[in-house]
Amino acid sequence: MKPQKKTLKHLSSKPYWDQIEALHPYKTLAMLFIVASAIVFTFLIVMMEFERIQILDEISLRSPRFFALSTIIILLSCFVMSQSTRFFDTDQLLKLKNYMGVALIGGLVFVISQMMAWMELINNLNYTSYLDLKNYFFIISGLHLAHLAGALVYCAVLMHRISILEDDAVQSLIYMTNPYQKTKYKTLTYFWYYLGIAWLVIFIYFLFAY
């Protein structure tokens, strides 16, 4: 009995980093990428704020209105993606694909709204004295858009795979019960959540600072 208790105690006191190493490589890479990305966004926002406080006169530069529309769209997209989770757990392949398709369309609409926001910045020629600040708008939103582009491509790849398998009941069952496939889908879902939260934080800063 004593050796058994010792073993259980050893397992329960397993170091935190060892638990991280036990994660699937997809989840580990996604987590590291999210942490690194969050650090980069934080650094850019701090630099933008530092640039803003250097201007002594009243800043008349305003955050593009289409950024508000972008925020609504990406939050709705995150909600749809979160609802699709239960369809993977209940082996409803068609509904899973449909919800992922709606989230994908939401992501594409987000891209269009971001481009409209950029056009608003470009056409706002009255604020040439705030060119450095405008560049930060482009850099921060553009970097976020690059993240989303990667997620959209990955989502399209998974949807294509589902489309191939949905007419084959046996292959569909194998796919839905494969932990490896579920890990890929969960990784996409978590990254989609991160994109929504990251943009919400960025938008709140833009809204109150400008």
Amino acid 176 reads: M
| Averaged confidence pLDDT in the chain | 78
pLDDT of 6 higher than 60: no
Work out the average pLDDT over 73-87. Answer: 87
Interatomic CA distance for residues 155 and 110, integer angstroms: 15
Which of 51-60, 157-166, 192-201 is predicted most confidently? 192-201
Residue 167, classed as helix, strand or coil, is coil
Q: How far, in whole angstroms, is CA 76 from its chain's centroid?
A: 13
pTM of the predicted structure, to 2 decimals: 0.78
CATH number where 121 lies: 1.20.120.80
Mean pLDDT throughout 29-51? 88
Q: What is the band of 105 on the pLDDT scale with cuts at 50, 70, 90?
A: very high
Summarised one tens digit per residue, pLDDT across range 47-77 is 888 877 776 555 566 778 888 899 999 999 9
The number of folded domains in the chain is 1
For every residue of 44-101, DSSP letters joined together read HHHHHHHHHHT--SPP-----THHHHHHHHHHHHHHHHHHTHHHHHTT-HHHHHHHHH
Q: Is the pLDDT of residue 98 over 50?
A: yes
Domain containing 194: what range? 2-209
The lowest-confidence range among 3-12, 20-29, 30-39 is: 3-12
Per-residue confidence (pLDDT) for residue 38, from 0 to 100? 92
Mean pLDDT of 90-101: 82
